[in-house]
Amino acid sequence: MEVIYSEECLKHAPKYEILSGSAKPYFESPQRLTAIKNHLASTDRYAILPPADYTLAPILRVHTSEFVEYLQTAYNKWVEQGGDSQGVLPECFPHPKLLAELGGAKAWIETAKRDGNVLAKAGLYCFDMSTTITGDTWNAAYISCQAALTGVHRLLQLDASSSANKPVGVYALCRPPGHHAGEDVCGGYCYINNVAVSAQFLIDYELEQVESLRIKDVSLAHPVVEVEKRTPKRKVLILDLDYHHGNGTQSIFYTKSNPLYISLHGTPDYPWFTGASHERGSGEGEGYNINIPLSKSTTDAEYLSALHDVLDGETALAFNADVVLVSLGLDTWHMDPIAGFQRLKSLETYWRMGEMIRTCAGTKHRPVLFVQEGGYWIGQLGDMVENVLDGFLG
Ligand code: SP5
Ligand code: ZN
């Protein structure tokens, strides 16, 4: 299988985050990526390939230009304004109650956007204290997203030339991750929502249009290509297997009937205020958002049974996706230092997850792009990824 990976993504390396009231070493570390890459490279079944560049245009279909500009410029402004060189972190958020009492929500938010104070913007464009912006963050987040888009491109090429019934899959080894990032908010170590941008890319473009957008070597010097609305080209199913609810992906597509978003996640846990089963989408999107909250004491067998039920369920079957995107978090593992189902303890479970994606009715015979999200127990990340991908290949 092809693995899309770039060393540029290692350069984003904040020293610490604020968790449970104190500074902790940054869990979303570059070592996560090298551990997975080295593990896959040590077998002869995986080819490690660099990302190409599909410009900012696909990113701007999902994220606002003011948010993107903030990510690009925040660190330099922060340092200019006397901020800690470790990077940008908020000190105050526009909490709805605070704003209601002041009676001026809209006006304050507009002021924060317009004026030059990066501390106001830091709270406006971020929802937690773990998503530090350093001088290397934008570049890494951009290239992480380009790795996912490269994965989409390779997947479409492989699918066009593959023989029926043979599983077609690609793995985008992305970092920083993406599923917590919304259209104009970062959080949960996520800046650009790699899976959401990839889903919209698949919905927007035919293979030939993808080819014409492609610039061979990644560079940040490209002008912004005009972003047009397009007629949908494909139906996309997003399967979010990260331990945490993908609040960003959910919110980006909440009012849309394509993609179909399905998430299995631990509850109650971070991000605390999203992920209930009654969050089903709204308007045209009603019924196209499926949350499966699972107790933290979920076992291997219970997890697999929940996954099987949803992938073989009526909604996934009726949706009849053309392509599947998997938000692949490995923080479901019982030993994960910041997450994990306490009784999910068998590596074989990860193999079975891959197998279910290959064999269940809702995903069977579809090309699958696996996009790396969370997972913090570094010693076994490689084993978990290898099991999912091998289970998928069969
Ligand atoms: C992509 C992704 O997995 N992001 C997750 C961000 C989670 N950040 C908050 C973690 C809270 C951990 N609570 C500490 C419990 C220690 N036992
Ligand atoms: Zn996670």
Alpha-carbon torsion (23, 180, 77, 107), positive or negative: negative
User: Is 70 exceeded by the pLDDT of residue 14?
Assistant: yes
pLDDT at residue 107, rounded to an integer = 84
89 with 188, same domain: the answer is no
Do the strands 260-267 and 236-240 form a parallel or antiparallel pair, or are they unpaired? Answer: parallel
* Shared-domain flag, residues 247 and 108: no
pLDDT for position 80: 97
Model confidence at 90, in pLDDT bands (50, 70, 90)? very high
pLDDT of residue 164: 76
Segment 128-172, tens digit of pLDDT: 999 999 999 999 999 999 999 999 999 999 999 998 789 999 999
Copy the structure tokens of residue 171.
């793995």
State yes or no: is 278 an active-site residue. no
Token code pair at residue 362 = 């809702």
Instruction: Write out the residue range of the structural domain in which residue 115 sits.
Output: 68-124
Q: Which residues line ligand 1 (CB under 6 A)?
A: 19-20, 130, 177, 180, 188-190, 242, 244, 270, 329, 331, 338, 373-374
Percent of the chain with pLDDT over 70: 95
pLDDT for 224 equals 53
Distance 269 CA to ligand 1 centre (A): 8
CA distance 312 to 318: 10
Q: How would residue 98 be classed by pLDDT, with cut points 50, 70 and 90?
A: confident
Neighbours of 346 (CB within 10 A): 17
User: Do 217 and 73 fall within a single domain?
Assistant: no
The domain that holds 151 is classified in CATH as 3.40.800.20
Considering the domain architecture, whether residues 90 and 185 belong to the same structural domain is answered as no
- Residue 275 confidence class, pLDDT cut points 50, 70, 90: very high
End-to-end CA distance of the chain: 12
Report the separation in Å between the CA atom of 266 and the middle of ligand 1, taken as the mean of its atom positions.
11
Structural domain count of the chain: 2
Q: Domain check: are 30 and 142 in the same one?
A: yes
pLDDT, average across residues 328-344: 98
Task: Give me the count of residues in the chain.
Answer: 394
> Are 380 and 346 within 8 A, CB to CB?
no
List residues bridging with 171 in a β-sheet: 3, 370
pLDDT at 231: 87
Q: Whose CA is nearest to atom 15 of ligand 1?
A: 338
* Residue 165 confidence (pLDDT): 83
Same domain, 81 and 182: no
Domain end call among 124, 148, 168:
124
Q: Which residue's alpha carbon is at the smallest distance from atom 2 of ligand 1?
A: 374
Model confidence at 378, pLDDT cuts 50, 70, 90, reads: very high
> For residues 167 and 65, what is the distance between their CA atoms, to the nearest angstrom?
37
Same domain, 102 and 41: no
Choice among 12, 153, 179, 180 that is catalytic: 180
Rounded to whole angstroms, the Cα distance separating 172 from 143 reads: 11
Average pLDDT over residues 280-295: 98
Contact 263, 288 (CB under 8 A): no
Q: Indicate the range of 76-90, 117-131, 205-219 predicted with least confidence.
A: 205-219
Q: Is the peptide bond before 271 cis (omega within 30 degrees of 0)?
A: yes
Partner residues linked to 24 by β-bridges: 17
Q: Do 106 and 157 have their domain in common?
A: no
Q: Residue 107: exposed, middle, or buried by beta-carbon count in 10 A (0-12, 13-18, 19+)?
A: exposed
Q: What is the pLDDT of residues 32-88, one digit of tens each?
A: 999 999 999 999 999 999 999 999 989 999 999 999 999 999 999 999 999 999 999
Residue 50 near residue 6, CB atoms below 8 Å: yes
The ipTM estimated for the assembled molecules is 0.97
**H or E element: which one contains 324?**
strand 323-328
Q: Per mean pLDDT, which range of 226-230, 334-338, 385-389 is the poorest? A: 226-230
Residue 50 and residue 76 in one domain:
no
Average predicted confidence (pLDDT) for the chain: 95
Distance of alpha carbon 346 from alpha carbon 384, whole angstroms: 10
Measure the CA–CA gap between 231 and 248, rounded to whole angstroms: 23
79 and 6 in a single domain? The answer is no
Residue 13 region, left (φ>0) first, then alpha (ψ -120 to 50), else beta?
A: beta
Q: How far is ligand 1, taken at its centre, from the CA of residue 376, in Å?
A: 9
* Whole-angstrom distance, CA of residue 67 vs CA of residue 90: 15
Q: What is the dihedral of CA 250, 254, 258, 259, to 10 degrees?
A: 0
pLDDT confidence of residue 227: 52
Among 12, 174, 270, which is best to mutate for testing ligand 1, by the most ligand atoms less than 8 A from CB?
270
Q: Distance between CA 17 and CA 86 in Å, rounded?
A: 10
Considering the domain architecture, whether residues 237 and 364 belong to the same structural domain is answered as yes
Q: Are 278 and 292 in contact (CB under 8 A)?
A: no
Among 104, 124, 144, the domain-final residue is 124
> Radius of gyration of the chain from Cα atoms?
20
CA–centroid distance, 370 to ligand 2, in Å, is 15
Last residue of a domain, one of 82, 105, 124: 124
312 and 250 housed in the same domain: yes
Whether the CB-CB separation of 237 and 362 falls below 8 Å is answered with yes
